[in-house]
Amino acid sequence: MRTSNPVLKEETFAPSNWSGITSELAPRQAGVMTTTGTVAKTAVLLLVCIAAALVAARVVDTTSVNPSIFYLGGGIGGFILALVISFKPKAAPFLSPVYAILQGAFLGTISLAIAASSPAGSMLIVQAVALTFGIFIALLVGYGLGLVRLGSTATKVVIVATAGVAITYMASFVLSMFGIHVMGALHGSGMIGIGFSLFVIVLASLNLVLDFQFVERGVQAGAPKYMEWYAGFGLLVTLIWLYIEVLRLLSKINRR
């Protein structure tokens, strides 16, 4: 089984990538990955991210600090750390909390900016957070009950679709730097823009299901304990993507 999340790759849980620690030796040397431990680590990272977002939004809203410090610093810094953690899973226990802080600063700033430009104001953020966690909890419960699973064919479709969305966003960003806005309909508040946002939200949700499946596979394989932080980091990456897409959708709807 594969995942379109570049963080939670199939090779990540291969014993050959555990720095010589086999599943038989792992329990005695450093403990093994558990579902409870992964949930706890994910919760910690979420709380850190939310706290950082609230602090960043408060500072930007009440002081004269340039928002770009949080926006660019959090965005670029978080991206660099994500790459480092992706290639060095053993660093996840130390770097994933820092990643959560940087992304929290980024999310707090961008959420404040979007809310300021919307008639709904701060309620837009509340709605986006509620919907994001609602989707996450619903999928988690459904997965726990065995109601939500993706087979090999569905997984391949999600991978291809995710790659397509990533290429679309990247192309749109690069073209916009040269003043070319050929994808305005996708980002607008028309039916095309709203339909595209709904599609991406569904895609991000399916990525969460794939992430759950990979966490389960890591637990079954007896992955080392530090993989709990790594898995939590991977889930946070997908949750942040889902929140941003939900926020974009609500913003589009409120502009109509």
How high is the pLDDT of residue 247? 92
Q: Is the pLDDT of residue 95 over 70?
A: yes
How high is the pLDDT of residue 188? 72
How high is the pLDDT of residue 173? 72
pLDDT-above-90 percentage for the chain: 44
What is the reported pTM? 0.83
How high is the pLDDT of residue 28? 41
How high is the pLDDT of residue 2? 45
How high is the pLDDT of residue 31? 81
- The pLDDT tens digits for 146-185 are 888 888 888 899 989 988 888 888 887 777 776 666 666 7
Q: Is the pLDDT of residue 206 over 90?
A: yes
How high is the pLDDT of residue 174? 76
Q: Is the pLDDT of residue 187 over 50?
A: yes
Q: Is the pLDDT of residue 79 over 80?
A: yes
Residue 173 CA to residue 8 CA, distance in Å, equals 26
- Average pLDDT, rounded, for the chain: 84
How high is the pLDDT of residue 25? 40
User: What secondary structure, in 3-state letters, does the chain show?
Assistant: CCCCCCCCCHHHHCHHHCCCCCCCCHHHHCCECCHHHHHHHHHHHHHHHHHHHHHHHHHHHHCCCCCHHHHHHHHHHHHHHHHHHHHCHHHHHHHHHHHHHHHHHHHHHHHHHHHHCCCCCCHHHHHHHHHHHHHHHHHHHHHHCCCCCCCHHHHHHHHHHHHHHHHHHHHHHHHHHCCCCCCHHHHCCCHHHHHHHHHHHHHHHHHHHHHHHHHHHHHHCCCECCHHHHHHHHHHHHHHHHHHHHHHHHHHHHHC
How high is the pLDDT of residue 190? 79
Cα distances (Å, whole numbers) of residue 168 to 8, 124, 187: 22, 25, 11
How high is the pLDDT of residue 26? 41
